[in-house]
């Protein structure tokens, strides 16, 4: 498989597949493809009970789409940003924000990871991440620009939850309410944020894809 990223404002990942080579992604991401490409629906089996809740309550699709070569298929998300590819070694695991995975080779294992919310009424109830384990290659769409960091052990950074694009499985993340000043008013006007702790790789995106 070869991936050629084209375009700047809303980029396209042009994927070249050899005979029998296969990738998977969410439905609705294909822009165009050769007639030799074979698309097919694939049920999402991973995630157990949490996966079922994610699909029933969170409105997440029950299916992915696979594309089998030979030929070209172009994939894109409806938003400005960057596309980056990443090759995962056997057993290497990353967590990726929903709405960011463009495609992955069929050898990549797909699962989900839940980040618990703060529990306050009217506050963040939590969200899911796509968990991807190697070996294989993945292509990601970062909304806006992608900022790359490597956190040392116990190093902590606080981010907006919409800024999280990718983290190594070794990186811990928890939600919290960030007060805006002191007193009751400061706590009442607090906003949801994430505390991220190393060690591991962390990618942030500068454009929050979630509606405000």
Tens digit of pLDDT for each residue in 115-166?
888 776 655 577 889 999 999 999 999 999 999 999 999 999 999 888 999 9
> Residue 80 has what DSSP assignment?
S
**Residues 86, 137 contacting (CB under 8 angstroms):** yes
Q: What's the pTM?
A: 0.85
Burial class (CB in 10 A: 0-12, 13-18, 19+), 89: exposed
- CA max distance for the chain: 64
Burial class (CB in 10 A: 0-12, 13-18, 19+), 109: middle
Question: Which CA distances in Å does 112 have to 9, 13, 133, 169?
Answer: 29, 24, 11, 12
Domains along the chain with CATH numbers = 2-205 (3.60.160.10)
pLDDT digits (tens, 9 = 90+) for 65-117: 999 999 999 999 988 999 999 999 999 999 999 889 999 999 999 988 888 88
């Amino acid at each position: 498989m070869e991936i050629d990223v084209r375009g700047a404002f809303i980029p396209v990942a042009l994927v070249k597949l050899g005979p029998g080579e296969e990738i998977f992604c969410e439905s609705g991401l294909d822009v165009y493809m050769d007639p030799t490409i074979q698309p097919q629906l694939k049920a999402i089996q991973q995630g157990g009970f949490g996966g079922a809740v994610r699909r029933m309550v969170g409105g997440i699709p029950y299916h992915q789409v696979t594309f089998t070569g030979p030929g070209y298929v172009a994939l894109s998300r409806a938003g400005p940003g960057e596309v980056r590819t990443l090759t995962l070694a056997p057993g290497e695991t990353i967590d990726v924000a929903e709405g960011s995975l463009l495609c992955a080779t069929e050898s990549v294992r797909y699962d989900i990871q839940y980040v618990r919310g703060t529990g306050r009424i009217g506050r963040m109830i939590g969200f899911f991440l796509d968990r991807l384990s190697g070996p294989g290659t993945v292509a990601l769409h970062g909304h806006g620009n992608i900022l790359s960091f490597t956190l040392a052990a116990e190093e902590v950074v606080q981010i907006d939850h919409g800024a999280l694009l990718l983290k190594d499985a070794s990186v811990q993340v928890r939600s919290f309410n960030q007060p805006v000043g002191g007193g009751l008013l400061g706590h009442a006007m607090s906003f949801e944020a994430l505390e991220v702790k190393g060690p591991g790789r962390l990618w942030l995106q500068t454009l929050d894809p979630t509606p405000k």
